[in-house]
């Protein structure tokens, strides 16, 4: 828990936190979605440190999958498909009524509302924040961005009523191997190219001569590597105007 969370409960130790009622700890649940800071190891919030340029001067390779939030939308629909009413409720609960209406116009529910919810989550919570971090980092260090975009990767057995696409963590079997998540021949070729890029980056600080630095985003797909306008694809201009 971040130092702010500890302070909110009046605690300075784990012993104190363990003595607190569960309901009090759960009231701060949203604050667990960040690294703990306010200590000698990490004295400042990472977002503030990044904005101030307090970062290690080393090259950075980071990116997203094209359909990050589809995995989480699938978990939302384990019991029943998401309806348009469910989608509107989620938008309102997350963004408030005024913004929810604006987002629903930009991301209409369509025939599969879960896909609209996944697109909102992918763009707002994953890709656009990553690109914003890339811009800040690129002031100080070389940055190499990517979008993993194999639309039919090996997938967990969730069986939603929509394709998982390049879901959150879908790139991991291509880099590390993941037990029974087997790759076909085309995916194996993509895997070899990704591993070569990652290891070249670890050795030299660049993933290869064919991978330009930010603002370029390299799309990783079975038919090869190519550039993609990730900000346009994920409507980041819209989200920059939406709090």
Mean pLDDT of 193-215: 97
Residue 48 forms part of a structural domain: no
**81 and 133 belong to one structural domain:** yes
Higher-pLDDT residue of 27, 83 = 83
Percent of the chain, pLDDT > 70?
Answer: 94
Q: Is the peptide bond before 11 cis (omega within 30 degrees of 0)?
A: no
> Range of 17's domain?
1-43
**25 and 67 belong to one structural domain:** no
Mean pLDDT of 94-110: 94
pLDDT at residue 11 tops 90? no
**122 and 25 belong to one structural domain:** no
**22 and 112 belong to one structural domain:** no
Task: Label residue 29 by pLDDT band (50, 70, 90).
Answer: low
Mean pLDDT of 90-108: 94
Chain-centroid distance, C-alpha 120: 12
Q: Token pair of 55, please?
A: 């970062």
Predicted TM-score (pTM) of this structure = 0.86
Task: Label residue 31 by pLDDT band (50, 70, 90).
Answer: low
**24 and 77 belong to one structural domain:** no
pLDDT digits (tens, 9 = 90+) for 148-168: 999 999 998 888 999 999 999
Task: Label residue 2 by pLDDT band (50, 70, 90).
Answer: very low
pLDDT score at 181: 75
Mean pLDDT of 23-34: 69
**151 and 232 belong to one structural domain:** yes
Helix H, strand E, coil C: the string for 50-110 is: HHHCCCCCCCEEEEEECCCCHHHHHHHCCCCCCCHHHHHHHHHHHHCHHHHHHHHHHCCCC
Helix H, strand E, coil C: the string for the chain is: CCHHHHHHCCCCCHHHHHCCCHHHHHCCHHHHCCCCCCCCCCCCCHHHHHHHCCCCCCCEEEEEECCCCHHHHHHHCCCCCCCHHHHHHHHHHHHCHHHHHHHHHHCCCCCCHHHHHHHHHHHHHHHHHHHHHHHHHCCCCCEEEEEECCCCCCCCCCCCCCCCCCCCCCCHHHHHCCCCCCCCHHHHHHHHHHHHHHHHHHHHCCCCCCCCCCCCEEEEECCEEEECCHHHHCCHHHHHCCC
Task: Label residue 126 by pLDDT band (50, 70, 90).
Answer: very high
Residue 18 forms part of a structural domain: yes
Domain total for the chain? 2
- What mean pLDDT, rounded, does the chain reach? 91
pLDDT digits (tens, 9 = 90+) for 167-188: 999 999 999 987 777 899 999 9
pLDDT score at 3: 46
pLDDT score at 33: 65
185 CB-side CA count, 13 A? 0
Q: How far apart are CA 140 and CA 177, in angstroms?
A: 33
Residue 52 forms part of a structural domain: no
Residue 54 forms part of a structural domain: no
Task: Label residue 7 by pLDDT band (50, 70, 90).
Answer: low
pLDDT score at 120: 98
pLDDT score at 26: 76
Q: 140 near 55, Cβ under 8 Å?
A: yes
pLDDT score at 28: 72
Q: How far apart are CA 147 and CA 171, in angstroms?
A: 10
**74 and 171 belong to one structural domain:** yes
Residue 85 sits in a domain whose CATH number is: 3.40.50.1820
pLDDT at residue 30 tops 90? no
- Taking residue 180's Cβ as centre, other Cβ atoms within 10 Å add up to 6
């Amino acid at each position: 828990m971040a130092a702010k969370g500890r302070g909110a409960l009046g605690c300075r130790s784990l012993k104190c936190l363990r003595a607190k009622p569960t309901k009090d700890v759960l009231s701060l649940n949203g604050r667990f979605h960040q690294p703990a800071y306010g200590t000698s190891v990490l004295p400042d919030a990472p977002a503030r440190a990044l904005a101030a340029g307090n970062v290690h001067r080393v090259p950075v390779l980071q990116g997203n999958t094209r359909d990050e939030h589809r995995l989480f939308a699938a978990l939302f629909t384990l019991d029943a498909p998401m309806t348009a009413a469910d989608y509107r409720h989620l938008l309102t609960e997350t963004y408030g009524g005024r913004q929810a209406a604006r987002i629903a116009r930009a991301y209409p529910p369509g025939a599969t509302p879960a896909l609209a919810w996944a697109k909102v989550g992918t763009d707002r919570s994953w890709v656009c924040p990553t690109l914003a971090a890339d811009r800040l980092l690129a002031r100080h260090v070389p940055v190499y961005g990517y979008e993993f975009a194999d639309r039919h990767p090996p997938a967990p057995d969730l069986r939603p009523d929509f394709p998982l696409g390049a879901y959150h963590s879908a790139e991991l079997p291509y880099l590390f191997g993941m037990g029974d998540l087997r790759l076909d021949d085309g995916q194996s070729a993509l895997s070899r190219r990704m591993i070569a890029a990652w290891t070249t980056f670890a050795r030299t600080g660049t993933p290869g001569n064919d991978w330009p630095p930010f603002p370029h985003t390299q799309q990783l797909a079975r038919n090869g590597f190519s550039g993609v306008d990730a900000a346009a694809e994920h409507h980041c201009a819209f989200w920059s105007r939406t709090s």
